[in-house]
Each structure stands twice: as C-alpha cells, then as structure tokens.
C-alpha cells in the first residue's frame, strides 16, 4: 500500500495521548463509607470490572476512529511503482494493400480502426502514424474521422522504417514510460529488421489475422508474339490456393474488346492470351473479379505508336551484322563513312556506333562528347590499327578509360555480368557452360567503368554504362568469332534499345522509371502527366533532341496517365501497383526481438490502461471511521 500524502502519518503519534490518559487515570476518587453487606460488596466489584471493560472498548474504537481518519487523509492506494510517471503512447497502423483481406464481411483494416476507436480512452493523448499519415500528440476525437476515411496505400513501410519513425515521435524525456504499439498483418516482405535497437521502449505487436480466403492476382503482362498484322498479349495470373476458372476481361479505355477464362494448374498459376491489332494505340486494362484483395484485380498497360530509335553507324568496313541487329522494325539505321559524315546529323541521333575507325578526328571527338552529354549513347568498336593516343583523347572522358597496350594472346570470353542493366531480363538463369567466344588480339585498358563481358583472366572485353560502351577488341572475323556467338544479338540490341527509353507496356509504382519523349522544352515549359483531375510534374531533363522523364515516388495511384506539353498530348504511360503483397506470406511475431505479442487491440489497450490505474483506498478508511463512530455510540448506549 502506498500513500499520496505520507507525511500525514506522523499524526498517528498523537494516538499515544489517549493511551497515556487511560493508563494513568488522573481522576481522584472520593471514599464513601458503606454498610458491610456481602451482597452489596459483590455487586460493587462486578460494576467496576464492567466499567473498566467499557472504557477499554471505547478507547479502542476511538483509536481506530482517529487512525482511520488519519490514514484516509493520507490517501492510501494500490498501484504499480511507476504509475505516476509520464507515459507516451505511439500507435502504428498498417494500411498497406494486404490489409484489404476480408474479415467478417469487412477488411481487417476497417476492423482494426473500429476496435481502436471503441477501446481508446476519449481524453488520452497519443501519437499515431500509418504508411502515409502522421498525427502527433492528439486525442481520439481529433483524428477519428481521418481514421474512418483512411485509404489503402501501396507504400508499405519496412520494420526498420517503422522503428525509426517511432523514435522520432517519442520525446527525449528519459524518465517517461514509452509504449509503442504495432498493428499489422506482418507480411513477410517487411521482415527486414529486428526490434532490438529500441532502448527503454515497450514494444507491443498486434497481429491482425484475416479469414481464410482465395486471392487471385494479375502479376504481369507482356507481348508474347507478333506477326505482320497482330500482337499476341499474354497475362500471368497467380492464386494463393486452388482456384476455379476465372473470367478475365480486356478493355481499351472503357470499351470491352475481349473476354476469356483463366484455368489454373497445379502450381496455382494461369495464363491468358489476347490478340490485338498491330500499330493501334491501346490504353488497356485487364480486369478480373475475386473476393480477395482488390488492388491486384486490375492491370493497366499502354501500347503507343512506336517511335523508332535513330542509330548512326560510322564505319570504314562492312556493317552487315550491325544492320541485321539494328533492323528497320525498331530502328532507323543509317550508315556512313568517316569521310562522308554529315556532322549536323549527329545531334538528332539516339545511338552512334564507331565501327573499326582507325583514327578519330578532333572535330568528331568534340561532337561525340557533346552528343553523349545531351543524352545520346555511344558504342565504340575499335580496329586493331588504332592510334592509342588518338583514341584515349575520346575514351578518357568516359570512366577515365585508357588504352595501355595490346596483347596478341588468344583469350576466351568467359564472364557475363548478369547484374548489369544491359542484361536485365535477358537470361532466365545464369549461364556458366556456354560456347566461349575467343579473340586473337585485344587491348589492355585501365578504366573505372563496370565490366559487362570479361576475359578468362577477369579483364574486360566489353565495358561501359550510362550510354557509353567500349569493346576492347576488334570484332572483325579475322580477329574474333564473337559475331557468331549468341551473345552478339542481345548485347548490341540492348545497347541500341537502351539509347532511347521507349514507353514500356507498364511501369511499377515506387520503382524508378525513365522515359524519353521526342520533344524539346521551351523556356518555362514543363511536361506533366494527367489522370482525371490529378496532375503530376515529374523530374525532367531537357536535351537537344529529347526530354527524359524520371519517376520515383510519383504517381501514387495505379492507372493510365496522359503526358502533356501544355495542351498537347504526347502519349500515355501506365502504372501498376507492386504485386509483392499478393503473396500473402506472414511472419511469426514471436521472432521479433524485444516485443510483446497481444491477441487483440482491446485486450492490449485494457491491459495498458490497467497498468496506469490507481486503486484508491481512502473511501474505505472513511467508511471504517463511520463504522467506529457508530460502534462507539452503540457501546455507550447498550453496554451496561
């Protein structure tokens, strides 16, 4: 038992006063003679004993009365030791798409908010944050409407980000008690940190479990085949458990153009195909209906009028292998000799290939440097008769590349940098036992550039990045058989394809995306993307013959956006949500270090409220005091 005013307990020493009075009996007695009668003498003895007992009882009741009053004024209570310390509470609510999972007819996010509103004390001050919003030092009535209208977000915070955010919301007061409540379904994708770095913070996890349900998601869309007149479009679907055949519809804007059925195999996957006319602009949407998560039931894609990539080959030898790879289907390729080069054409190109040029004139060097600075791509294929100093004047501008010498030892090309952007999505798996191309002579170079293809000794055969690529050997048939290797086509094609970022079928929200628009910007004019009433100005960089748009954290919502330059439509671009949350894989919260798991929000909030409760006892001692007053009255009246 604890006391709010313990100093008042010193008053208990005053109880010694009536005890002393009772013991010493300071009152004098007067002797009165009486007849010596045995019967009267006996009555006199009995009355004296009864009187002493009555006085003792009255003394006890009065002592207990005053004791109760003194203790009542000291205000005793039962509570935990730190009950009067300042408490800070921060709540995190996961409003990611996986919280759309159904639970008793509604989503688990809606159930979470309803339970939180129902069990949070109305006047309790706390802080709350979600994946998108933050409310610091508020009471429930201030944010209740915001919580009820909380929308789902594609931005799911990782555990480490949740921890850092909570640490910024807590005060620096070291004596306060800090409670951090994490409410989530705890998808496995955000299990990227352990909560062992939070000092002096009580971490509580409330795992929201959805009902068992079947979720079907559209994972990806791609062009699987083309011919002279049509495009075959394929869509991959995935279910989290065995699913029945599902209807899938294809729309162009809001017009239904095709409908089919997806049949799932034993691996819970399905593929549907649609045939579309070639060279027709389509703002597409593939749609299905299921009772699981809603965000993955629509998939947006865009087929724009395809702009051809402009490539210029400067060569004094045959270029048949380049012409075949940079074909007229996707490229506008022109070939010229060095003597006949029209320098004015350089600025309008997307890719320039120097093929087997022995010497690079100063004027060409300056033009190429200016060309790459304006966003163009450069591929250099040297001849064996190059002048190193002449080439180095150009190469040194790119990753400090220098030709140091030449080796005439036969070397095999054995290494592939699969992580390089040039080979992204080219190989289904890492190839280790392919037929290695060889070269008879090659250059020894020093560079800070990443390698793309390597010789067996680890030195680079092809190096480059960010629009610059350099072969360290001639590709002539007399020197190398690389032209006959399967690597030649994806390597040259991707160098050309990456020189101009053609709008893809779709992009993924929150993943960096670059898009080149064949337009120039006037002063004070910017490009923007528009959807309904929403307008977004992306990061953009203007070059002489194009404008590059960069998307990182915007837009936030999936859909098809129109690219505008003022009132002029320049095309469309589609964005889709990441399908990672459709996997519905959850972690065990017991594995999170330094945290306490709770079964429900109401139970946790009740327990935390009970930890702060003070069980006051002064009323009981007032009742005891009244009881002793009544007891004294009864003794005075009825004790004879």
Question: Which tens digit of pLDDT belongs to each residue from 413-432?
Answer: 988 888 888 887 777 666 66
- Structure confidence at residue 621 (pLDDT): 77
pLDDT at residue 38 above 80?
no
* Separation CA 592–CA 413 (nearest Å): 47
The neighbour count for residue 568, using CB atoms within 10 Å, is 9
* φ, ψ for residue 391, nearest 5 deg: -70, -40
* Separation CA 457–CA 447 (nearest Å): 16
Question: Which tens digit of pLDDT belongs to each residue from 461-509?
Answer: 999 998 999 999 999 999 999 998 888 998 999 999 888 877 788 999 9
| Helix, strand, coil percentages in the chain from 3-state DSSP, rounded to 5 | 30, 30, 40
The neighbour count for residue 103, using CB atoms within 10 Å, is 18
**Mean pLDDT score of the chain:** 84
pLDDT at residue 566 above 60?
yes
Higher-confidence residue of 77 and 453: namely 453
DSSP 463: E
* 32: its two tokens: 């009165």
* φ, ψ for residue 442, nearest 5 deg: -155, 165
DSSP 157: P
Q: What structural domains and CATH numbers belong to the chain? A: 2-27+35-79+616-638 (no CATH), 87-212+592-599 (3.40.50.410), 221-306 (2.60.40), 309-497 (3.40.50.880), 510-574 (2.60.40)
Given the structure tokens 């495009």, which residue do they identify?
A: 231
DSSP 6: G
Does the pTM of the predicted model rise above 0.75? no
* Separation CA 127–CA 544 (nearest Å): 51
Torsion region of 389: left, alpha or beta (phi above 0 gives left; psi -120 to 50 gives alpha): alpha
- Is 608 within 8 Å of 89 (Cβ atoms)? yes
The percentage of the chain sitting over the pLDDT mark of 70, rounded to a whole number, equals 88
DSSP 347: G
Question: Which tens digit of pLDDT belongs to each residue from 162-206?
Answer: 888 888 888 887 778 888 888 888 887 655 445 554 667 788 888
């Amino acid at each position: 038992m604890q006391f709010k005013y313990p100093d008042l307990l010193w008053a208990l020493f005053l109880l010694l006063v009536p005890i002393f009075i009772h013991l010493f009996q300071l009152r004098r007695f007067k002797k009165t003679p009486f007849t010596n009668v045995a019967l009267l003498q006996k009555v006199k003895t009995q009355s004296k004993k009864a009187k002493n007992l009555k006085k003792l009882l009255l003394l006890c009741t009065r002592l207990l009365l005053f004791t109760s009053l003194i203790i009542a004024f000291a205000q005793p209570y039962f509570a935990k030791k730190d009950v009067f310390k300042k408490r800070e509470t921060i709540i995190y609510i996961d409003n990611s798409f996986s919280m759309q999972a159904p639970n008793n007819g509604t989503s688990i996010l809606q159930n979470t908010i309803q339970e939180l509103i129902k069990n949070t004390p109305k006047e309790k001050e706390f802080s709350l944050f979600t994946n998108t919003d933050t409310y610091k030092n508020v009471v429930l009535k201030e944010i209740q409407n915001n919580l009820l209208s909380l929308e789902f977000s594609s931005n799911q915070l990782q555990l480490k980000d949740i921890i850092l955010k909570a640490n910024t919301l807590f005060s620096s007061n070291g004596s306060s008690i800090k409670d951090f409540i994490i409410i989530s379904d705890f998808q496995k994708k955000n299990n990227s940190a352990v909560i062992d770095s939070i000092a002096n913070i009580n971490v509580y996890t409330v795992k929201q479990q959805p009902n068992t349900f079947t979720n079907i998601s559209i994972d990806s869309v791609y062009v699987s085949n083309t011919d002279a007149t049509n495009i075959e479009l394929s869509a991959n679907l995935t279910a989290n458990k065995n699913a029945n055949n599902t209807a899938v519809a294809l729309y162009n804007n809001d017009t239904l153009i095709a409908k089919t059925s997806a049949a799932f195999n034993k691996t819970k996957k399905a593929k549907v195909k649609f045939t579309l006319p070639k060279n027709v602009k389509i703002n597409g949407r593939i749609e299905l209906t299921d009772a699981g998560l809603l965000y993955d039931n629509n998939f947006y894609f865009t087929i724009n009028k395809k702009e051809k990539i402009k490539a210029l080959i400067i060569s004094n030898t045959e270029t048949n292998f380049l012409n075949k790879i940079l074909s007229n289907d996707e490229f506008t390729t022109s070939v010229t000799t060095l003597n006949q080069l029209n320098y004015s054409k350089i600025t309008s190109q997307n890719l320039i290939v120097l093929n087997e040029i022995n010497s690079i004139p100063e004027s060409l060097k300056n033009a190429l440097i200016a060309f790459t600075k304006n966003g163009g791509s450069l591929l250099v294929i040297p001849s064996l008769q190059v002048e190193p100093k002449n080439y180095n004047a150009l190469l040194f501008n790119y990753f400090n590349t220098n030709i140091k010498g030449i080796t005439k030892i036969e070397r095999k090309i054995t290494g592939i940098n699969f992580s390089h952007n040039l080979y992204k999505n080219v190989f289904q798996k890492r190839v280790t036992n392919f037929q290695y191309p060889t070269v008879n002579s090659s250059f020894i170079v020093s560079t800070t550039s990443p390698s793309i293809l390597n010789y067996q000794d680890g030195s680079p055969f092809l190096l480059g990045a960010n629009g610059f690529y350099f072969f360290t050997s001639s590709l002539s048939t007399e020197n190398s058989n690389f032209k006959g290797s399967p690597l030649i086509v994806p390597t040259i094609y991707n160098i050309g394809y990456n020189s101009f970022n053609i709008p893809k079928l779709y992009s993924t929200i929150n993943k960096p995306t670059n898009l080149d628009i064949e337009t120039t910007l006037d002063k004070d004019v910017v490009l923007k993307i528009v959807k309904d009433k929403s307008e977004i100005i992306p990061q953009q960089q203007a070059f002489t013959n194009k404008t590059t748009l960069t998307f990182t954290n915007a837009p936030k919502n999936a859909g098809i956006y129109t690219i505008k330059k003022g009132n002029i439509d320049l095309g469309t671009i589609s964005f889709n949500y990441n399908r990672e949350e459709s996997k519905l894989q959850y972690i065990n919260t017991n594995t999170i270090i330094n945290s306490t798991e709770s079964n429900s929000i109401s139970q946790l909030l009740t327990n935390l409220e009970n930890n702060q409760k003070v069980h006051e006892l002064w009323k009981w001692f007032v009742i005891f005091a009244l009881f002793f007053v009544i007891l004294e009255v009864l003794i005075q009246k009825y004790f004879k």
